[in-house]
Structure 1
Amino acid sequence: MGSTSVTEMLGGWERGARALALLDAARERGYLTFLSEPRTAEEVAEFAGYSAGEVLDALVAQGIAVRVDGKYQLEGQLAGALSAGAPVDFAAQIERAALLARQVGDVVRTGASAVTAGESVVIARSVALTPNDAARGVVTQILDAVPEMRDAITDGHLLDVGSGVGGFVLTTASLLPGLRATSLELVPEVAAVAVERAKALGVTDRVDIRAMDARDFEALTPYDAVFWAQPFFPEQTRAATLAMIRRSLRPGGILLIQQLDAEPTDDDARAAFTLPRLVARAQGLPFARTLDELVAEIEAAGFALVRTLDIDLGRIALLRRPEESREG
Structure 2
Amino acid sequence: MDQDRETAAGREALRRELLAYGAASRTLNEWISGARALALLRAAISSGIFDAARTPSTVGEISAATGVEGPRVADVCLALEAHGVFERDGESYRLSEDYAALASPDALQSLPDLLAKERVLGRALESAASSQDAAFTELTSEDASAMALGVGMRPSSPTARALWASALAGMAPELYGLWEGGARHLEIGCGAANALLSLLATIPRLSAVGVEIDGGAIAIARRRARELGVDDRVELRHADARDLDEEASFDSANWSQQFFPAEGRGEVLAAAWRALKPDGYLLATMFGEPPGSAEALREPTGRSYALDRLAYGGWGVPVLGVEELREQVEGAGFEVLRTVSPPPNPLMVSRGIMLARRPKT
- Tell me if TM exceeds 0.5: yes
1:319 and 1:194 mapped to 2: Cα distance?
26
Q: Report the secondary structure of 1:284's partner residue.
A: coil
When residues 273 and 158 of structure 1 are mapped into structure 2, their CA distance, relative to the original with a 3 A threshold, is closer
1:46 maps onto 2:64 in alignment:
yes
Deviation readout 1:252-287 (Å, 9 max, x if unpaired): 110112224664524264456544433222210123
The equivalent of 1:85 in structure 2 is 106
Larger Rg: 2
Q: Which residue in the other structure is 2:79 paired with?
A: 58
Between the aligned partners of 1:134 and 1:13, the Cα distance in structure 2 is 31
Shift of the alpha carbon at 1:214? 0.4
The letter for the 2-side match of 1:60 is: E
Secondary structure of 1:250 counterpart: strand
Separation in 2, partners of 1:195, 1:28:
25
Code of the aligned partner of 1:285: V
The answer to whether the aligner puts 1:21 opposite 2:11 as a matched pair is no
Q: Equivalent of 2:244, from 187, 210, 217?
A: 217
Paired with 1:101 and 1:309, the residues of 2 have a C-alpha distance of 29
C-alpha displacement of 1:126: 0.5
Q: Aligned residue for 1:319?
A: 356
Number of matched pairs: 322
Q: Which among 152, 171, 174 is matched to residue 201 of structure 2?
A: 174
Aligned partner (choices 288, 292, 297) of residue 328 of structure 2? 297
Question: What is residue 310 of structure 2 aligned with on the other side?
Answer: 278
Residue aligned with 1:129, SS: coil
Q: Which moved more, 1:90-99 or 1:10-19?
A: 10-19
1:133 to 158, 161, 164: 158
Structure 1 residue 237, shift from structure 2 partner: 2.2
Match runs of 1:178-327 below 5 Å: 178-219=205-246, 221-260=248-287, 263=290, 265-267=296-298, 269=300, 270=302, 273-287=305-319, 289-312=320-343, 314-324=351-361
SS of 2:284's equivalent?
A: strand
Deviations 1:22-79 (A, max 9, x none): 1222222233322222222221222232121111111111222222343222222222
TM-score computed with the length of structure 1 as normaliser: 0.89
2:191 aligns to what SS in structure 1?
Answer: coil
Distance change in 2, residues 1:273/1:144 (3 Å): closer
Q: Secondary structure at the match of 2:57?
A: coil
How far, CA to CA, are the matches of 1:272 and 1:128 in structure 2?
Answer: 15
CA distance in 2, matches of 1:273, 1:4: 29
Distance 1:195 1:258 in 2: 23
8 Å contact 1:20–1:98 — kept in the other structure?
A: no
- Show CA shifts across 1:134-171 (max 9, x none): 12212321342122112222311000011011111111
Q: Which residue of 1 aligns with 2:52?
A: 34
CA drift of 1:179 comes to 1.4
Structure 2: gaps of 5 or more residues: 1-18, 346-350
User: Structure 1 residues 7 and 266, CA, compared in 2 at 3 Å: closer, same or farther?
Assistant: closer
Q: Secondary structure at the match of 1:55?
A: helix
CA distance in 1, matches of 2:90, 2:267: 60
Contact residue 207 and residue 234 of structure 2 kept, 8 A: yes
Q: Is the 8 A contact 1:128 1:164 kept in 2?
A: no
Helix, strand or coil at the partner of 1:92: helix
- 94, 99, 117: which one aligns with 2:115: 94
